[in-house]
A and B are shown apart, each in its own frame.
Chain A
């Protein structure tokens, strides 16, 4: 059977593969190579070794973006997951209106990042109006603005994953714990949380990688203002590439470091999930 399928390899493989090679594979290889070149278009490169990587750290821009990004990601990861878990617990209690609530809480997740950014630009500026400032007056407004925006967008998303996890807990397990006289706290610690460990892993890493990759929302809400102080990694890389000529190589080198960071997080998740599967 394998042989008769192989006769049609071109038909089955080529459409997706050609697109993949053009859109991803060639640009990926070019990107890694060009991070060691000075260039303005992709064809005029001059080899400069590690120079681009060294130039990343000439000023504080990149490290500032990294630090802002880390703080943002950790804070929003915690708030989103706690919020989503609480909502998921409430929506699995069989309360009236559960379906309507689920529909409402999930909805912001479908709205695109640019639109989200502008919605919250209006709302946050509205709240800051009484102080006579705007969201770009102080980096702390941008920071908390982005945290609120991320929560609004992602709580519903993580909530449905937690709901799926909670609904998969066998009722015998809960019944048995109750007969053994487990109180609310024990139930949560010894039954609920261990049973939904896979959901926790998924949501933690989705919010982690989502936080680091964030671009559209950052661009639309603050565009990095004031003075690049609310610029996160993805936006900083974009501005390095397109902000002024002569820094394309530095942008590409930043992108390589960024990719390594995101890949490390993804691999950690994989290791975590594997471990859970072995334990389960």
Chain B
């Protein structure tokens, strides 16, 4: 009876694993189909998207070369990387400092700032996109360095909120001891507090990296004409009128996904933890 029961359970588990495996294949399939089509001539992609390339339809690297030339992919990659890296450095530094300040100094000013920042997290981008892009234009922030100011500004809400949430749980005694020993506020922050923020900093960095790297509308509206980031460059393939070059599109989709997937496979644990922490607190 008991062994029968156990055998039945094992069978069930095996069936479930098979079902999950099929589902997993279904999940990866869209990416593989795009990869497969990136090696096919553009004339056959729309007419037979689910067929493997054959000698008639195979074009080798042509789509990659053509696509990269059309949208300036490697330049776009450079801009995306530059903007993402420096945005997350800027956001982590600026918001951890502000997060510490608003947690340790309690007055009307810090309370107002804190609630304004929290409020900014729920406002959709469409509310400010027009006025923000005009403001950025007037202040000459419409270049890859100026846009960092905008990203720090839009990232300020979540960053400050998460750092402040963590700092509330750190006992004051360490900081007090340091300051009694004569350390100034910046010394206390950078030598004592900042090293303790590491796990929150990783979470904030990951959430912001995913946002900035994939962001379309902000760079499109502010720097999109002169400096195309990857999402802007990809959408640019659609052009104004006429058919989209699906060959170039497939190749560029692959190139856009490769860095993300590599990053994900390397940092998987941190990413999943960070995303869960961000969702629960945000």
- Whether the pair B132, A123 counts as a contact (CB closer than 8 A) is no
* Cβ 8 A contact of A123, one of B30, B47, B125, B139: B30
Contact indicator per residue, chain A 211-229, by CB within 8 Å of chain B (1) or not (0): 0110110011001000000
B242 CB → nearest A CB, Å: 14
- Whether the pair B130, A8 counts as a contact (CB closer than 8 A) is no
Within 8 A of B (CB), among A204-251: 206, 209, 212-213, 215-216, 219-220, 223, 233-234, 237-238, 241, 248, 251
Within 8 A of B (CB), among A106-153: 106-115, 118-120, 122-123, 125-126, 129, 152
Q: With an 8 A cutoff between CB atoms, is A1 at the interface?
A: yes
With A28-B128, A104-B28 as known contacts, state yes or no: A13 contacts B246, CB within 8 Å: no
- Whether the pair B153, A34 counts as a contact (CB closer than 8 A) is no
A69 CB → nearest B CB, Å: 12
- Taking CB atoms, residues of chain A closer than 8 Å to B185 are 4-5, 7-8, 11-12
- Whether the pair A251, B132 counts as a contact (CB closer than 8 A) is no
- Taking CB atoms, residues of chain B closer than 8 Å to A109 are 275
Q: With an 8 A cutoff between CB atoms, is A62 at the interface?
A: no
Number of residue pairs across A and B with beta carbons under 8 Å? 276
* Cβ 8 A contact of A105, one of B27, B113, B253, B271: B27
- Taking CB atoms, residues of chain A closer than 8 Å to B104 are 1-2, 5
Provide 21 A-B residue pairs closer than 8 Å at the C-beta atoms, listed in order of the A residue: A5-B185, A8-B184, A12-B98, A15-B152, A16-B95, A17-B113, A19-B149, A19-B150, A20-B156, A22-B141, A24-B120, A26-B131, A28-B128, A96-B13, A97-B21, A101-B23, A112-B216, A122-B246, A125-B49, A157-B275, A259-B123
List 19 additional contacts besides A9-B105, A107-B264; criterion CB under 8 Å: A5-B101, A15-B98, A22-B141, A22-B153, A23-B152, A24-B132, A25-B116, A104-B28, A109-B275, A110-B264, A111-B257, A112-B230, A115-B256, A206-B279, A209-B122, A216-B216, A233-B126, A259-B123, A259-B126
